[in-house]
Every structure is written in C-alpha cells, then in structure tokens.
Structure 1
C-alpha cells in the first residue's frame, strides 16, 4: 500500500469489558477478585480482552503501512470532526459500527469483526486480515457499499440527532413519559414508557422485540395459537416505523396512535410535557442525548444523510 496515500484512515475502537472493570476497580487483580467473589468466570473477560488487543494490533500494523491514520475511542465520536475524504474503520462489535455510522456523512465505513467466534457480526463482514486489500479498493472507489437509511430528530432549539438503528423518546428513569404526539391528521396526549422510531436496519433490533412481544400478548388474549408474523424492512428503505411502549389509557391520555410508518417527507411530531428527565437518544447511547423537557418539540423524519457500509 502506498505510504503517500492522501486519504486518512480513522480507526474507531472500543474498550473491552476488562478495561471497563479495571477503570472501576483500578487494577486487573482487584477486578478478578470482584468477579470471582461473585462466582463468575473471570477468564472469559481476559480471553475477550486478549483477542481484541491482538486484532487491534494487527489492524494498526496495516494502518502504519498505509500512511495517514488516527485512532479514537468510540466515546469521543460525538465531538470528533471527520475530514470529508476520510475512510473510517470500526473494530467490532456491531454496536460500534452503528454508533460510528450515525456521525458520518457519506464516508465509507469498514466494519471489522475482532472475534468471529464471539460476535455474530451482521455489520462486520470483514476481519483485520482483509483490511489491506479493502483500503486499496475503497480509496480508489472500486469497492461497493450498502446504503443505510438514518432517522433524524430535530428540536425547536435547532439541536439535531441522527440514528442508524432507532431513536428513543421518553424519560431517563422508570417513570412514565408524558407527551403530545402527532402524525398526519392524528394527535393525542400519551403516557407511556416512551416510543421507539426505527430505521430499516433498526427494524431487526430493539423495534423487532417490541413488536413481537406485543403481537404475542395480543395473540394470547385473542386466543390465537401462533402470533402474527413480523417482517423487517430493508436497510435502505426510505421509511421509518414507530411504536409506543406500554401506552396507558386514562382520563388525560389516549392509546390510539401507538404504531405507524413515516415515508418520504412525512414526519412525527412529539412535544414534551415532562418538567424533567425527558430525553431523546439514539442507538442505545444515552450519554449522547438531547434533553427533552416541557415545551420542547421534536420533529422526526427520514434523514437526508445516508450511511455507506462497505461490503
């Protein structure tokens, strides 16, 4: 690979479970004592860590031969500025790819599986040994990619948050979320455990579990022996689906607008009625959230931004 290549590669990594334990208990020995004191197997934490570090080292060796590169932990993604020509590499799991993709704007993203025996790797079609050839092909636009539709939440104060899998809108705690929701000609006040707005990719994740659970419960009450079937959307489907979690009917809250689909320029409007603890976050990362308290309105739409996952 040419060391003088002008396209910088950004490698996104994550901390292992062992590193998180050491950050909490200060040393590996203390972490081991804590885990084994509870009767758990510490050796699995160590094996996972050793494999990830070995594959990280292998990946960095490739980048050193490439030329320009930078390594960041995924926790820094919300504040990181990618160059327009950057090639981005995420070193697994699937969640690292999703968390990275939503901060990109047309950048090619290569997902590397650091441990194929441990991770299914739906978004990780490659391993570190594949990287040298991949970089050459991506840098010269000779490698194909899969388009991934994103969701977008825009607040009245101008703040924006994108999602690759799903947006969660609700309360930070286990208290009920209270809000006004509107789609098309329908509008109502709801009290629920929050709502999920899923992309095509997200239709295979958290959203799928919500719908399948609801169908199974409804089928049991309806006397059906088998729940109704559920079909996921394509990753590049220009549509979003939303579902309300555990809506509660009362004198002031309704349960009619609990599921729907947004296509094209259609939008879902949600206005917070919560004085505190209201949040919007995406792809399971609550640390990177928008505050969603009384009076704040969110407009949920299909994003103009499209992810490019190298395949």
Structure 2
C-alpha cells in the first residue's frame, strides 16, 4: 500500500538571484561585473549569494525527492500555476517570497526554508534545507503545527480580485495624486492622496508601522513648534496608534485589517477625515476610482502583479475568505 508521502506532490518554489537578474539585463557575467564594480559595489557578494542559493536549491531537490514527487517552480510562474488541493508547498526564501506565494494558495501548507541563514534573518523561514527530509513526512501526516494567516482581499465590481498577505496598495501606478471616493460604515468621503495602504496582522510591522511612525513623529515635532494646545493635540494623535495597539506586533491571524491614507490633501472638493481605521468582516472598506488612467491595486510590494483601478471601478476591501497556513 502506498504512503501519503509518495502520493502527494511537493512544489518547490525558487526565485532568480540578483546575479541571474543582472545577467538577464547585461547578457553576461563579465558585463554585469563591469557594471557593478564601476559603481563601486562588491561584485563578490553577488557571486556568493548566487552560489549559496543554487546549492540550497540542489540540496532541497535531493532531500524532497527522498520523500515525495518534486516539481520545481520559478517565482514568476506562481500567479498562473494551479496548485492541487493536496500539494505541499516549499519556498526557498527570502521572506518576501513566502508572502508573495502564500496569497496564491488555497490553504495548502507552506514550509518556509532559509537558503542562507548567514544572509537572511528569516522571520518566515524557520527551517533549513537539512530539516526537509524529516519535516515534510510529518506535514503529510498532519503532525506539524500550522499558524494561520489572515489575508486581505480586494474584490472589484467587474469580478476580479486580489489577495494580500502583508498589505494592499490602492492608488496611482506612478504614486502621484490619486482621486477616489472612500466609504466606511456608511460614511463616504472624496479624497486626493498618494494612495491607501491596507495592512494585515502579518503586515503590521511593515508598511503600516512605517506610515504610523512617520505620522506620529510629524505630530510630535509639529507640537513642539506650536502652542501648548497644539502640543496636546499632537500627543492625542500619537496616542491613536498606541491605543490601537499598532506599535506592537499583531498576531498573524488578527481578525481585522487597518487602512491608512498616505498624504491626504484637503481642498474645496476633497477631505481628509477618513484617513485611518479598522476593517472587519462586517465593516468593509469601499473605494471607487476617479482616476482616468494608471489606477492600480497591488499587494505585498509586487507592482508587476496588479489590478487596473480606473474611473468607475469599485473595490471592496475586506478579509479574505481563505487563510494562509504556515508550517512552524
């Protein structure tokens, strides 16, 4: 009788190294080296990273091949790949590759592997290549703990949708002023801004933390330059993030999303009142584009994988109906 490890398929996901991307751009390693060294950078670091990553890929194929059927998949093919319900997914980091893969899965378990622990911190990469031979059979048998991850979802009124593991960005492709109407809990507002960021619990220590830290710092500094009354207002602004618990790491399965509006511009036709808030399954955020061109929605910093968001298109931002599942 066959075992589950021989029945299930293992999808091993890798990415191009910086050196490989340079060779694509400059045709040869020699030309890539000339370009990098002309700028005063250390080309040996590119060589070292490429060597260790390739070695990790080769070793991972061998280790996984001992416990199941392996299919190697390049990062650029992930959005269009059809994952089987029983597939187990192994990602050779860095962390961003884990996040960019997780949103395309349908609750298949994902194992994050650190290909070079001396180089990558690996918050989402708790395992090494040497762990795989013993780890994967345990995953097959359901003997490994799995952490669930809340996903953000943008659903357009034309039927298209996009998920985000860390965050979604809604705005202009060029990051110049975006025009749209935003609505939450029955309150609607016309806005012009540099875009809206919607963050998950996993993304709370990333883009969201950066935006809030900047807002709090500006409020505090402005308060020091103004009157005592303005200082009190600055302190209250700083307490918004603290009261929401955003300055601390939120759990990955946090039941809410948070949105922040970047650089909102109040004018005769636009407002800046609805610039920060919480999104739940009962209180989605609705955004209607007023941008004739270059409106986009992308997730997790991958601008090349986006939804067009031009005039008349409405996006409903809410929690995804599926969850990511990270093996720990």
TM-score for the superposition, normalised by structure 1 = 0.97
Count residues in correspondence. 311
Are the aligned partners of 2:154 and 2:163 in contact in 1 as well (CA < 8 Å)?
yes
Q: Secondary structure at the match of 2:61?
A: helix
Q: Distance in 2 between matches of 1:210 and 1:29?
A: 41
In structure 1, C-alpha distance between the alignment counterparts of 2:206 and 2:297, rounded to whole Å: 18
Contact 1:111 1:125 in 2 (8 A): yes
Report matched runs for 1:290-305 at 5 Å.
290-305=307-322
Alpha-carbon shift at residue 169 of structure 1 (Å):
0.2
- How far 1:3 sits from its partner (Å)? 9.7
2:267 is matched with: 250
Partners of 2:74 and 2:284 in 1: CA distance: 34
- Structure 2 distance, partners of 1:203, 1:239, is 11
Q: How does 1:224-303 map to 2 (within 5 A)?
A: 229=242, 230-303=247-320
Q: Which residue of 1 aligns with 2:165?
A: 164
- 1:240–1:262 CA contact under 8 A, matched in 2: yes
Contact kept? 1:149, 1:164, Cα under 8 Å: yes
| Superposition map of 1:119-138 within 5 A | 119-138=120-139
Show the counterpart of 2:203. Answer: 202
More strand as a share of residues: 1
Q: Deviations over 1:31-70 (max 9, x none)?
A: 0000001111101111111111111111011122223111
Write out per-residue CA displacement over residues 154-213 of structure 1, whole angstroms, 9 at most, x where no aligned residue.
000000101100000000013211100000021101111101000000111111101111
1:92–1:111: 8 Å Cα contact kept in structure 2?
Answer: yes
Superposition deviation, residue 2 in structure 1: 6.7
SS state at 2:271 partner: coil
Higher helix share: 2
Task: Please report how far the alpha carbon of residue 263 of structure 1 lies from its aligned counterpart in structure 2 after TM superposition.
Answer: 2.0
1:11 and 2:28 matched: no
Is the contact between residue 94 and residue 122 of structure 1 (CA under 8 Å) also seen in structure 2?
yes
Q: Secondary structure at the match of 2:305?
A: strand
Out of 173-182 and 227-236, give the one that drifted further: 227-236
Instruction: Answer yes or no: is the 8 Å Cα contact 2:4–2:140 preserved in 1.
Output: no
Q: String of CA shifts for 1:132-159, please: whole Å, max 9, x gaps.
A: 1111100011111111000000000000
**Structure 2 match to 1:50:** 51
User: Contact 1:208–1:232 at 8 Å: present in 2 too?
Assistant: no
Unaligned runs of 5+ in 2: 225-230
SS at match of 2:252: coil
The answer to whether the Cα contact below 8 Å between 1:265 and 1:302 also exists between their aligned partners in 2 is no
The 8 Å contact of residues 114 and 125 in structure 2, kept in 1 or not, is answered as yes
**What is the CA deviation profile of residues 209-257 of structure 1, one whole-angstrom value per residue up to 9, with x for unaligned ones?**
0111111111111227996552332111111000000111111110000
Deviation at 1:29, TM superposition (A): 0.5
Q: Does structure 1 retain, via aligned residues, the 8 Å contact 2:152–2:320?
A: yes
CA contact (8 A) 2:12 2:73 kept: yes
Whether the aligned pair in 1 keeps the contact of 2:92 and 2:115 (CA below 8 Å) is: yes
1:93-112 alignment, distance < 5 Å: 93-112=94-113
Give, in whole Å, the separation in 2 of the partners of 1:269 and 1:220.
33
